[in-house]
Structure 1
Amino acid sequence: MISKYRKQFNKEFTPQKYEEVQRLLMEKSGIQPSFRLSESPLFLTKEFEAKLLDASNSIIEQIKNLPEGTLEKAIPENCKVPNDTQQPHFFTIDFGICRNENGNIEPQLIELQAFPSLFAFQKVFEDTLCEVYPFLSDLQNELTSEDLKKYLSELIIGEENPENVILLEIFPEKQKTLIDFVLTEKLLGIKTVCLTKVKKEGKKLFYENKGKKIEIKRIYNRVIFDELDKIPNLNLEFDFREDVDVKWITHPNWFFKISKFLLPMLNHQFVPKSYFLHEFPADENLENFVLKPLFSFAGSGVNLNPTKEITDAIQDKENYILQRKVNYEPIFEDINGEFSKAEIRLLYIWRENDDYPILIENLGRMTKAAMVNVDFNKKDAIWIGSSTAFFAEE
């Protein structure tokens, strides 16, 4: 969207520089990313950034003004965790980069979550791109690595000793986001612990490090709670639904409360109209909507072309939404003259005494497929995968 920087990047790009970015990330983390990195960042205008922020601020304000108890209805009975909090510690919002009926490029809300994203990785990735392409430094996020460390330390570690704070995941070594866990450990000095390794004594939780039993006082939670039921023969000492003496960062209930469950309640020009499946109006055309399960992760279960036969067959219609389709616009030109589409995720933290969350950084996702998920792309495609956005005047 900013031809000056797009032309400069495409002129400077070489496969060797792409390899250099990955080599530097390996050097900084000790492992290779297990998800695909796009060869290119996104270049977006300050005008587009203002639209993103206008939509996000409106969404946050609408959520804050919901009637008390509304969000609690989103939590499945079998997934309720004790000791909930007044607000989440993390807040992320995904927007598609779309073209409207007047031909203008605008953001359209895709989904939102109160769940941590790649906070540690994205900053390292942005810095690494700037090392390999020095001209990007002029566009760099004002938030420094030290700023990020300060914010995340205050939020995740608080007043505790870092050894009493863990990043919790199920089989972390198998997760695509492992590189973010490793960089979080380096940034904050905390350990990543598998849920299967957590020990429980009374209301206290412990993990072992070098033969030493250490109490867990704060949990930086990366476990998708309802995914645990899908793992066969899972042997755990600790059940999320138990009342234990730990501080959740962020509390597991917020994964459900800030989710697609909210979409039918939100109104803004950059928020596509959504309905719960059981409330879908008879005068709307199903062809204009995408079918989404409420609590799927990473795009699983999404149907881009639902039919009446498909929707009629769904028994738990209250656990699905229909969201009006948007037109992702392929505007990010690669070195072959082909174009990619993209989404951008805004990454916020929400400190406990703050009325509003703080925007920390962003994450871009690029594709040439129907869905913004690299699994749907051709294997030889370029300008696809995880990325980051730089904003500048046009």
Structure 2
Amino acid sequence: MISKYRKQFNQEFSQEKYEKVKNLIKEKSGIEAGFRLSESPLFLTKEFEAKLLDASESIIDQIKKLPEGTLEKAIPENCNVPNDTQQPHFFTIDFGICRSENGKIEPQLIELQAFPSLYAFQKIFEDTLCEVYPFLSEIKNKMTSEELKQHLTELIIGDENPENVILLEIFPEKQKTSIDFVLTEKLLGIKTVCLTKVKKEGKKLFYENEGKKTEIKRIYNRVIFDELDKIPDLKIEFDFREEADVKWITHPNWFFKISKFLLPMLNHQFVPKSYFLHEFPEAENLENFVLKPLFSFAGSGVNLNPTKEITDAIQDKENYILQRKVDYEPIFEDINGEFSKAEIRLLYIWRENEDRPVLLENLGRMTKAAMVNVDFNKKDAIWIGSSNAFFAEE
């Protein structure tokens, strides 16, 4: 979208520089990323950034104005965790980069969640791109690495000793996002702990820290609670639904409350119309909609071409939405003259007792396939995978 920077990047790009980016990230983290890194960042205009922020601010306003108790209806009975909070600590919004009917490039909301994303990794990724391509530094994110560290330290560690704060995940070494866990440890001085290693005594939680039993007072939660039921023979001492003397960052209930459940309640020119499946109007055409389970993660269960036979067969229709289709516009030109599509995720934190969240960073995802997921791309495709957006004047 910004021809000046796109042209310069494509001229400077080489496979060697791409390998250098990956190798530098491996040096900084100690491990390779478990997901594909795109060769290219996204170059987007300040005008487009303003549209993103306008949509985000409107969505935040609408969430804040919802009647009390509305969001609680999203929590499945078997997933309700005690000691909920007034607002989430994390807030992320995904927008597709699309072309409107009037020909303008505009964002379209895809989904939103109150669940942490790659907050530590993404800043390292951005800084590394700037190391290898120095001209990017003139348009990099104004949030410095030190400022981001301060924000995350205040949010996640708070007033506690870092040894009493853990990043909690289930089998973290097997997760695609494990590189973010490692970089979070380095950034904040906390340990990543598998849920199976957490011990419970009364209402107190403990983990083994270098051979010493250590109390857990704050949990930076990366466990998707409803995924636990899908793990066979899982043995854990700590059930999320039990009372515990611990502070959740962010509370597990928010995974359900800020989710696709919200989409039918939102209105904005950059928010495609959505309906709960059981409320889908007869006047609408099913062909114009995408079918999505409410609480799927990473695009699982999404049907791009639902039929009446498929929707009629679904028993729990209240747990699905139909979202009007949007067309991702292929505007990111690669070195072969082919074009990728993309979406962008805005990474906010929301401090307790503060009126609005703070935007820290962004995360881009590029594709040449129908869905923004590397698994759907041809193996030899380029300009696909995890990326980062840079904004500049046209």
TM-score, length-normalised on structure 1?
A: 1.00
CA distance in 1, matches of 2:145, 2:46: 23
Q: Does 1:92 align with 2:120?
A: no
Give secondary structure in 2 for the equivalent of 1:107: strand
CA distance in 2, matches of 1:97, 1:239: 40
Give secondary structure in 2 for the equivalent of 1:256: helix
Q: How much has 1:115 moved relative to structure 2?
A: 0.3
Q: Does 1:155 align with 2:155?
A: yes
Consecutive aligned runs of 4 or more in structure 1 exceeding 6 Å deviation: none
CA distance in 1, matches of 2:210, 2:269: 54
CA distance in 1, matches of 2:216, 2:92: 26
Q: Does 1:201 align with 2:201?
A: yes
Aligned to 2:315: 315
CA distance in 2, matches of 1:379, 1:213: 46
Larger CA deviation: 252-261 vs 203-212: 203-212
CA distance in 1, matches of 2:111, 2:26: 31
Q: Match of 2:120, as an amino acid?
A: A
Q: Match of 2:330, as an amino acid?
A: P
CA distance in 1, matches of 2:386, 2:353: 32
Give secondary structure in 2 for the equivalent of 1:48: helix
- Where does 1:1-394 land on structure 2 (aligned, <5 Å)? 1-394=1-394
Gaps of 5+ in 2: none
Q: How much has 1:44 moved relative to structure 2?
A: 0.2
Q: How much has 1:23 moved relative to structure 2?
A: 0.6
CA distance in 1, matches of 2:141, 2:301: 34
Root mean square deviation, CA, Å = 0.3
CA distance in 2, matches of 1:100, 1:90: 30
Q: Match of 2:68, as an amino acid?
A: E
CA distance in 2, matches of 1:145, 1:132: 17
Q: How much has 1:211 moved relative to structure 2?
A: 1.2
CA distance in 2, matches of 1:188, 1:359: 19
CA distance in 2, matches of 1:323, 1:333: 28
CA distance in 1, matches of 2:342, 2:70: 32
Cα deviation, 1:100-140, whole Å, max 9, x if unaligned, reads 11111000000000000000000000000000000000011
Q: Match of 2:29, as an amino acid?
A: S
Cα deviation, 1:337-381, whole Å, max 9, x if unaligned, reads 000000000000000021000000000000000000111111100
Cα deviation, 1:61-110, whole Å, max 9, x if unaligned, reads 00000000000000000000000000000000000000011111000000
Q: How much has 1:325 moved relative to structure 2?
A: 0.1
Cα deviation, 1:287-317, whole Å, max 9, x if unaligned, reads 0000000000000000000000000000000
What is the aligned-residue identity percentage? 88
Give secondary structure in 1 for the equivalent of 2:143: coil
Q: How much has 1:198 moved relative to structure 2?
A: 0.2
Give secondary structure in 1 for the equivalent of 2:98: strand
CA distance in 2, matches of 1:143, 1:321: 36
CA distance in 1, matches of 2:103, 2:295: 33
Gaps of 5+ in 1: none
CA distance in 2, matches of 1:209, 1:353: 32
CA distance in 1, matches of 2:254, 2:375: 27
CA distance in 2, matches of 1:29, 1:362: 20
Cα deviation, 1:252-287, whole Å, max 9, x if unaligned, reads 000000000000000000000000000000000000
Give secondary structure in 2 for the equivalent of 1:375: helix
TM-score, length-normalised on structure 2?
A: 1.00
CA distance in 1, matches of 2:37, 2:82: 38
CA distance in 1, matches of 2:116, 2:348: 9
Give secondary structure in 2 for the equivalent of 1:284: coil
CA distance in 2, matches of 1:123, 1:104: 29
